[in-house]
Each structure stands twice: as structure tokens, then as C-alpha cells.
Amino acid sequence: MPGITGTTRLFAVLGDPVDQVRAPELLNPLFDRLGRDAVLFPVHATPQHLAGIVRGLCRVGNLDGLLVTVPHKIEICRFADELSHAARISGCANALRREPGGRWLADNFDGAGFVRGLRGRGHDVTGRRVALVGAGGAGAAIAAALLDAGVGHLTIGDLDRARLDHVHTRLDRLWPGRVTCETAPRLDGVQFAVNATPLGLRPEDPLPFEPSALAPDCVVADIIMKPRETRLLRTAAELGHPVHHGNHMLDEQLELYRGFFHLDDAPLTR
């Protein structure tokens, strides 16, 4: 990577922990390829110190953007001056940029990244029936992106009834009649079944849903990246289902960040 100088523009990725983030290894080589004098570095921010750290970073004159990961995706919305459509619907954000007037806009690319990932693997969701399990931040963002992409009908499952109702209200207002929410996910007749819960991070986790209940050609997707082969995907593959891995969502977000942060614009003359 070319050297950092006094003119280098800054981007930070915030998390707790932060050791595991992949963004620096993805974004810094992209900055280089695009000839941007910019660097992305990891920022370890505990929940207790998040407010002070974010307020401080947002005042740094040469800092142009923030990426946000676990556990700050919900809390970070408080510090934005403006929320995108996706951030408003999901109630969480994973990217913030400084607008020309100095305001900070928060957006959420989990959903768009997931849908782009599906498309990139040849899976078109237009007009299809989809079951999504998990109505947390990532689940809500993916639900909104799926509906935005033209899914025919979406069933969302989550054991937390209050959370489910909250998500349903927001989605049904924008896409009336196309969303059903149930504490027990309905899997019959769907062409895609998606896990957006954390179940599968640990080997002893139960399955988020039962792949044997799905039609044989139903695509089974997971958003968990580590392990790559979750118990859900292994079980689904053994039953002959096409499977879709978690890494595609993040890989596609890289392209979305490129647009969001205007990385293809001509470098500023300073």
C-alpha cells in the first residue's frame, strides 16, 4: 500500500471486539486500486465509550466515513443526522458518510449486499416466495432488501413476538400484504429459505429451521460467515438443496461501499 502522508483521508471501522473485522483488508487494497489517498483502520470502541468516540471521530476534518459492526449497528443510528431508507426500516446501520454540508448520513448495506450476493450466484428472487428466520437488525435489513428487489411473498419467523410485530409494521406500510410474520417460520412452498439468526456460529447451536421441511429445489442461504459451512448448510447440502454461503453478503457490500463513499470520483485537488 502506498504510504500514508499528511493529506491522507480517513475511514474507520468500529466494533467490540474489532480484531476480527475484515474491512481493512478489503477496503485498503481497493483504495490503492482506485488511486485514492485514503486509509481504513480498525477502532476498538466499547459500548461505554461509543458515544465519545463517534462524536470525536465525526469532528475529525479528514475523516470521510465510518463502518460499523457488532455490537454497535443499532446504537450508531443515534449519531447520524440522517438515516437512509434501509437504515430506517432495519433500525440499524453499518456505514456512515460525511455529506458535503457536514451532516452524517447512515445507511445499511446488509440487505442490499445479501440480495446482490444471491443475484451474483444466479439466484433471482423476483416474484418468488421466501422464508426468512431472524428479525433482528440483519434480518430486518435483508427483509426490506428482498421486498425492494421484488420478492412475491416473504414469511419472517422469530421467537420474539414484539420484535416480529415491530418489523411487520414497518415493512407492511411500504409493501402492504406481501409480508407475513410468525413465531414459527412457515417453510411450505418457499423457493428460498434464509437464516438471519446467529444460530450456527457455534457447532452446538440448534438448526434455525428444519431443511427437511423444504421443497427439494429450495435454496438454503445463511448469513453466518464463520464457520463457512454451518450446520444448516451442511444439512441442507446433504438433502440435495442448493446452498448459499454467508461470505457473499460481505463481498458484495464492498462494491456498495465503493458507491456510497464515492470512491470512483476524481480525487479531490488539495
Interacting span for a copy of itself (CB under 8 A) from 44-52, 85-93, 208-216, 227-235: 44-52
Among 30, 34, 40, 253, binds a copy of itself (CB under 8 A): 40
Among 30, 34, 47, 49, binds a copy of itself (CB under 8 A): 49
Q: Please, are residues 215 and 221 in contact by the beta-carbon 8 Å criterion? A: no
Question: How near is the Cβ of 84 to a copy of itself at its closest, in Å?
Answer: 24
122 three-class SS? coil
Q: Which residue's C-alpha cell is 459451512?
A: 229
Among 34, 35, 44, 262, binds a copy of itself (CB under 8 A): 44
Q: Is 198 in the site for a copy of itself (CB under 8 A)?
A: no
Q: Is 21 in the site for a copy of itself (CB under 8 A)?
A: yes
**Percent of the chain that is helix, strand, coil (3-state, to 5):** 35, 20, 45
What distances in angstroms separate CA 122 from CA 66, 175, 248, one per listed residue?
31, 25, 12
Handedness of CA 256, 259, 261, 264 (dihedral sign): positive
Q: Please, are residues 242 and 220 in contact by the beta-carbon 8 Å criterion? A: yes
Q: Is 10 in the site for a copy of itself (CB under 8 A)?
A: yes
In the range 66-105, which residues lie near a copy of itself by CB under 8 A? Answer: none
* Known catalytic membership, residue 226: no
The site that binds a copy of itself (CB under 8 A) totals a number of residues, namely: 42
Question: How near is the Cβ of 42 to a copy of itself at its closest, in Å?
Answer: 5
C-alpha cell of 224? 453466518
Q: Please, are residues 83 and 76 in contact by the beta-carbon 8 Å criterion? A: no
Question: How near is the Cβ of 62 to a copy of itself at its closest, in Å?
Answer: 4
Q: Which residue among 72, 73, 129, 244 is the active-site one?
A: 73
In the range 101-140, which residues lie near a copy of itself by CB under 8 A? Answer: none
Gap between the Cα atoms of 129 and 181, Å rounded: 13
Could you tell me which of 97, 131, 138 has the C-alpha nearest to residue 11?
Answer: 97
What distances in angstroms separate CA 250 from CA 109, 116, 138, 144, one per listed residue?
9, 10, 12, 17
Question: How near is the Cβ of 128 to a copy of itself at its closest, in Å?
Answer: 36
Q: Is 33 in the site for a copy of itself (CB under 8 A)?
A: no
Interacting span for a copy of itself (CB under 8 A) from 56-64, 79-87, 120-128, 198-206: 56-64
Question: How near is the Cβ of 66 to a copy of itself at its closest, in Å?
Answer: 12
Gap between the Cα atoms of 262 and 119, Å rounded: 23
Q: Is 25 in the site for a copy of itself (CB under 8 A)?
A: yes
Gap between the Cα atoms of 250 and 94, Å rounded: 11
Among 36, 45, 113, 192, binds a copy of itself (CB under 8 A): 45
C-alpha cell of 253? 457490500
Question: What residues make contact with a copy of itself under the rule CB under 8 A?
Answer: 1, 3-8, 10, 13, 15-22, 24-25, 28-29, 39-46, 49, 52-57, 59-63, 270
| Catalytic (active-site) positions | 73
